[in-house]
Amino acid sequence: MSSIEEKFLEIFGEEPDLIAAAPGRVNLIGEHIDYSEGFVLPFAIKDRTTAAIRKRDDSVVRIASAQRRSKIVTVDINNVKPGLKGEWERYALAVLWSMGVKTGVDLLIDGHVPLGAGLSSSAALECSVATAVNHLFDMGFSLEDLARLTQKAENQYVGVPCGIMDQSVSLMATIGSALLLDCRDLSTRNIPFDVASSGLELLIIDTQAHHALTDGGYAERRASCESVAAKLGIKSMRELTMPALESAKDQLTQVEFIRARHAVTEMKRVLDCVEALSEANFEKVGELINQSHISLRDDYTVSCPELDTAVSASLAAGALGSRMVGGGFGGSAIALIDAAKTSETIKAIEKAFADKKFKAPRFFTSLPSQGAEVIFRK
């Protein structure tokens, strides 16, 4: 019996019917453009969230966390709807709501994606639950369906107006590849992402400056892009070019212009990065990563001192490229580095943080890993 099965039995007094797992993610490039129908290039990390579930014969939903075993949240499935108060369990309840679950379940969540690090711990939770529910009730939803349903859960129930990237890669990722995702139609292409054979490593730097995306900062930026699209009579930033944006500058506020400039240039950087990866041109990949950070810092203004320090210290230590990842306002950065200089790079970043009296960062690495899957069925 696995650890989560034992915990489930201990908490609920019965064994689970099914267990599913879904990973967090790192986005190599393509930040804050998934909600503008852009292209993104994320990959799944090895850290995962696991959901163990059992079908009940009544309407009671009980949810527990392996990390907080003393607390069991109990609610009637008929009362699960947007506006229901709660904490972390809202993400799980949101999925039950968006998928139309009508019967009670016991649900245990075991999360191992670092919280608040910009690595999509929320999407990992949502996608592990969605995968478990889809198979437990034989709903037959496709991965694309599940991506849209989990996005709906976070948008309409939790209240975070996220795009669809995080859920899509958590569900669809494959080992050894980044996932080129077209956020307009959810079509995907696996892009081999093998830095190790070139003697490189992708270092993930958790600044431990933790963000909360429900504070309005994320929503304001999405609203800016939607305002630009409305003013210019287009559906999304995907239809905009830099010449068209420049010619329409007088119709926009300065903030709208720079937000749109980030979206347009970032979409191009993603496609340029795919081309560079196809040629194993990691110097070019590094340049594009650097340009992405500058755009996020200056045009989208979602960086913070800790992220900027992680990036500048990485580059000073010889990284080919470094940038913030995730929603911003804290969280993590990545650095494409010489694998032989990992220890040296980490020490340089630690010193830079100590010099500024920031909380000590955490470091880890991950190769592109597998997306969501069922790992046990009774």
Residues carrying an active site annotation: 166
Question: Contact at 8 Å (CB) between 199 and 340?
Answer: yes
Note the residue count of the chain: 378
Strands 60-65, 105-111: parallel, antiparallel or unpaired by DSSP?
A: parallel
Measure the CA–CA gap between 87 and 214, rounded to whole angstroms: 12
CB 174 within 8 A of CB 147: no
For residue 60, the one-letter residue type is V
Tokens of 23: 């990973």
Distance between CA atoms of 194 and 199, rounded to whole angstroms? 10
CA 143 – CA 29 distance, rounded (Å): 22
Cα–Cα distance, 291 to 272 (Å, whole number):
12
Helix (H) or strand (E) holding 120: none
Whether 199 and 339 have beta carbons less than 8 Å apart is answered as: yes
CA distances, 62 to each of 2, 53, 290, 375 (Å)? 21, 10, 45, 21
